[in-house]
């Protein structure tokens, strides 16, 4: 029988006793991350009936669940992830690697000329444990998401992305400020305190 490391045991214990994990199970959300988006949305009113949303890195689907519920039948949610995602009513999903041009082209085809009002991205790379490598991979994904938002968001649209504080953060913030009238930092309560993840919200695309 495999022996768990202290760190994996601590994670498991934290997960089992996590308030938001229990809440997600009760409310029918696929992951505790749903409450990060719900809290940000409560403050910033990003998701409203009729809004068109692109969800990058959507699996297992908790952000798409929240988005579909709040934009309603008048809105649309388009989701993409390299992992499979079970169907969600009101969400059009493509499975593929966002870093590959042909997958991005397929996603653009799915949009069929629609320009999203909002792009959301809770994507994170597979962590190797090497902080330098993981940070670089994370910002590479965030840069691709920003590029997508810059090219596809309608004028005045918004962009919400997860990043990790550290190397590359200042440069990424500057890149966002070149695209959006305002860039705000959000750290929802559902984000674990020990995590250096934060969310950057770009408002009102130029």
Rounded average pLDDT over 143-155:
97
Domains and CATH numbers, the chain: 30-205 (3.40.50.150)
Q: What residues are paired with 53 via a beta bridge?
A: 77, 118
Q: What is the DSSP letter of 124?
A: -
- CA 131 vs CA 11, 46, 144, 200, 203: distances in Å: 18, 32, 20, 20, 30
Which pair of structure tokens corresponds to residue 170? 């200042």
Read off the pLDDT of residues 134-146 as tens digits, 9 standing for 90 and up.
Answer: 899 999 999 999 9
Read off the pLDDT of residues 24-77 as tens digits, 9 standing for 90 and up.
Answer: 999 999 999 999 999 999 999 999 999 999 999 999 999 999 999 999 999 999
The answer to whether 11 is a known ligand-binding residue is: no
Active site (annotated) includes residue 137: no
The answer to whether 18 is a known ligand-binding residue is: no
The answer to whether 158 is a known ligand-binding residue is: no
Is residue 114 pLDDT above 80, yes or no? yes
Alpha helix stretches (DSSP H) within 18-130: 19-27, 34-44, 62-71, 101-111
Rounded average pLDDT over 86-96:
97
Q: Which of 109, 162, 189, 205 is catalytic?
A: 162
């Amino acid at each position: 029988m495999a022996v768990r490391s202290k760190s994996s045991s601590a994670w498991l214990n934290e997960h089992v006793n996590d308030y938001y994990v229990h809440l997600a199970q009760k409310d029918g959300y696929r992951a505790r991350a749903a409450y990060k988006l719900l809290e940000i949305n409560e403050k910033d009113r990003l998701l409203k009936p009729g809004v068109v949303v692109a969800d990058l890195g959507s699996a297992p689907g908790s952000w798409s669940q929240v988005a579909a519920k709040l934009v309603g039948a008048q809105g649309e949610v388009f989701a993409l992830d390299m992992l499979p995602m079970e169907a969600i009513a009101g969400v059009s999903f493509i499975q593929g690697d966002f870093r590959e041009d042909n997958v991005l082209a397929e996603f653009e085809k799915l949009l069929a000329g629609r320009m999203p009002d909002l792009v959301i991205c809770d994507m994170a790379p597979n962590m190797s444990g090497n902080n330098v490598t993981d940070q670089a991979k994370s910002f590479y994904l965030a840069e691709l998401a920003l590029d997508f938002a810059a090219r596809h968001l309608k004028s005045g649209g918004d962009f919400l992305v997860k990043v990790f504080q550290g190397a590359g953060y200042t440069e990424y913030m500057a890149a966002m400020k070149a695209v959006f009238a305002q860039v705000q930092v959000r750290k929802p309560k559902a984000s674990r305190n020990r995590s250096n993840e934060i969310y950057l919200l770009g408002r009102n695309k130029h």
